[in-house]
Amino acid sequence: MKALVYHGPGQKAWEDVPDPTIVGAGDAIVRVDTTTICGTDLHILKGDVPAVQEGRILGHEAVGTIVEIGSAVQTLAVGDRVIVSCIKSCGHCANCKIGLYSHCLGDEGASGTGWVFGHLIDGTQAEYVRVPYAENSLHLLPPGVTDEEAVMLSDILPTGFEIGVQYGRVKPGDVVAVIGAGPVGLAAIATAGLYGAGIVIAIDTDLNRLEQARVFGATDVVVSGSPDWKKQVLALTDGAGVDVAIEAVGIPETFGIAIEVVRPGGNVANVGVHGKPVELHLENLWIQNINISMGLVNTNTTPMLLKLVAQKKIPADKLATHRFRLDQILEAYDTFSRAAETKALKVVISR
């Protein structure tokens, strides 16, 4: 089959590799019908994730069709249309039993690590992918949900909701600021209303993404490069600061913005993947009673979010801005890596 293979920092190739095969009785082989590119993939290519070894097939998001199942798989069948979750889940370890799938203790890839696709085992930017613990790591798709909608449930929608909205402790009437209106930030904006956010402020330097943020539910937008950006945010909070600041970029500057705009007693939810250290001024923060959270998505909310997408309550389809064939994946990477220029949100890559 063909797959996108990592060959060290800055190096990748669309090339021939062996087809995946069943290894464990709980495995399934899925034909990849649709995949996409995540900001984390760009971090890998920069060398920010040293655990990814040369020769690894990249990608951790996909929608596909099951073509083979292991002998222990009982609730799935060949021909089923499924979402491949970005997080593995054995379903029976101590962490999985409490919904902490991101730290699944199953030994696939590495015990204690839920993110394995395109990281510790071969990923989804390929014609086929082997999925371990298939009954817990795949989600059956109901009729009426398109591939483009469904692929957003592999990672970004549960990430924005769980690590941004849930970890940020959003409650009814809250003022929420989302710093970074990229795909994950837009996912947080689109789901903040599920917990009753009253005002949702999108903060970004990109005017196009701020326009998109309004489509996904932002009530207000602020250009972070403007001289009075902080004054604009505080004006929407009667000067108190926001109840919840969601950092959705992963650089020190945007984390700094989150700290600047949160009110005393508020919550800062760090969603962005940081490639270098961030300075944390505890000498100033301790007296403000601020809660700071962070984490890797568990995808334990995917079934609920899938119902809302099926009911058209979440505009998942609007996240797709560019479309490519699998054999155009290098062009897709180029487009996605120049998002400010190309106005790309999520690139959809299909057979």
pLDDT in tens, 328-345: 999 999 999 999 999 999
| Mean per-residue pLDDT of the chain | 97
Q: Residue 116 in contact with residue 110, Cβ under 8 Å? A: yes
Best CA proximity match to 169, nearest among 296, 293, 306: 293
Bigger pLDDT: 81 or 225?
Answer: 81
CATH superfamily membership of 2-155+299-350: Medium-chain alcohol dehydrogenases, catalytic domain (3.90.180.10)
**CB-neighbour burial class of residue 117 (10 A; exposed 0-12, middle 13-18, buried 19+):** buried
Give the residue-averaged pLDDT of 191-212.
97
Residue with tokens 């020190």: 252
pLDDT value of position 288:
96
Please check the confidence at residue 36 and state whether its pLDDT lies above 90: yes
Least confident range from 77-86, 184-193, 274-283: namely 274-283
* Domain range list for the chain: 2-155+299-350, 157-294
Instruction: Give the global pTM.
Output: 0.96
Chain segment 87-127, per-residue pLDDT in tens: 999 999 999 999 999 999 999 999 999 999 999 999 999 99
Regarding beta strands 128-131 and 28-36, do their DSSP bridges make them parallel or antiparallel, or are they unpaired?
Answer: antiparallel
pLDDT value of position 199:
98
Pairwise CA distance, residues 305 & 152, whole Å: 10
Please check the confidence at residue 56 and state whether its pLDDT lies above 90: yes
Pairwise CA distance, residues 154 & 142, whole Å: 15
Work out the pLDDT band at 206, boundaries 50, 70, 90: very high
**CB-neighbour burial class of residue 173 (10 A; exposed 0-12, middle 13-18, buried 19+):** exposed
In the chain, pLDDT over 90 holds for what percent of residues?
A: 97
pLDDT value of position 276:
86
Give the residue-averaged pLDDT of 231-244.
97
pLDDT value of position 25:
97
Work out the pLDDT band at 275, boundaries 50, 70, 90: confident
Give the residue-averaged pLDDT of 182-198.
97
Work out the pLDDT band at 192, boundaries 50, 70, 90: very high
Through-space distance between the first and last CA atoms of the chain, rounded to whole angstroms: 13
In the chain, pLDDT over 70 holds for what percent of residues?
A: 100
pLDDT value of position 48:
85
DSSP alpha helix (H) spans, the chain: 39-45, 94-97, 134-137, 147-151, 156-159, 183-192, 207-215, 229-235, 252-261, 282-285, 302-310, 329-337, 339-342
Is 157-294 a CATH 3.90.1280.10 domain?
Answer: no
pLDDT value of position 225:
87
Give the residue-averaged pLDDT of 169-181.
98
Best CA proximity match to 84, nearest among 112, 49, 39, 121: 121
Pairwise CA distance, residues 262 & 240, whole Å: 8
Amino acid type, 149: E
pLDDT value of position 75:
97
pLDDT value of position 270:
98
